[in-house]
Amino acid sequence: MFHRDAGVSIQIVSMFAGLFLMGTGVVRAQVDGHGTHGWSTPRTAWGAPDLQGIWDYRTMTPLERPREFAGKAVMSEEEAAEYTARKLVEQADYDLAPSVHAKWWLDYGKELTDDHRTSLIVDPVDGRVPPLTEEARLRGAARADRRRTNGADGADYRALSERCLSFGTPRLPGAYNNNYQILQTQDQVVIVSEMVHDARVVPLDGRPYSDIDQWHGEARGYWEGDTLVVTSRNYPSLGAFRGSTEGVRIVERFSRVGPATIDYELTVQDPATWTASWTVMFPMKKTDQPMFEYACHEGNYGLENILRNARIEEAENRVAP
């Protein structure tokens, strides 16, 4: 987790003539704040677009469109100023925004995307995650019941994040560790997440998928013009994206649109979980600051204490008159 140097201000001015949905794609134009006049996409030694570096994707823009902005894709200048001021107050208040961490330790975005969008979701057009299927609602209820009745029976009953196994991929902007590091070779791209220093190795050689489930899914990549497209599948049901099933399909698109900006787009499809696919889009800004290891297991007393306290409570209940 780091804080962007105050002397560096990278602004993105997005020119939205509208959102034209073509399947799950989004047509948009975006200009990097440094200006693109005379700029061309940097290339690696083998001619591929160069996406390497550390990219910060913090933003205050919410994933879903707040009800107060229903039917409105973009805030006015006045609305954006009021919303930003209100959210900054909420972020600093433990009652309004409870947190197990000290507020100074958190690293939420302090600014909206520069186009003042009301949500990171751009498809569906209402800016909201599609409704859950009945099957997904039943799965969620079963998980909640197990947490309530058997949640401390053993480590396997706890969340993957509590066990420091995975915080899930792909990542969405959150409370801290909102950074990716991208490395490239001619045949592979490596995407390292600051959150739990998870690393995904993405082959570009067209190899088929295996039949082996992996915590971060199995990724395959290819170039579509100057855009890196990464498709992922083979997630285990326990670790699939946002409660989806092992049948989820995820497509990510990384497009470098300026000297210091990558447009990132994520499309999720799982008919067993949501009634429609949905797409998220946000900018990632390049930084020269380093990314440090997130050593989740070191000093992870939370999981140990949860289980120990549950055993103590059980012992006390057994001897209670």
Domain ranges across the chain:
12-319
What does the pLDDT read at residue 102?
83
Burial (CB count within 10 angstroms: exposed 0-12, middle 13-18, buried 19+), residue 58: buried
Region of residue 250 (left: phi > 0; alpha: psi -120 to 50; beta: else): beta
Using DSSP's 3-state secondary structure scheme, residue 161 falls into coil
Of 293 and 249, the one with more pLDDT: 249
pLDDT at 127 over 90: yes
Mean pLDDT across the chain: 86
Q: Collapse the DSSP code of 306 into the 3-class scheme (helix H, G, I; strand E, B; otherwise coil) and give the result.
A: helix
Contact 161, 177 (CB under 8 A): no
Q: How confident is the model at residue 5 (pLDDT cuts 50, 70, 90)?
A: very low
Per the DSSP assignment, residues forming a β-bridge with 258 are 261
Q: What is this structure's pTM?
A: 0.84
Question: Which residue type is seen at 112?
Answer: L
pLDDT of residue 18: 36
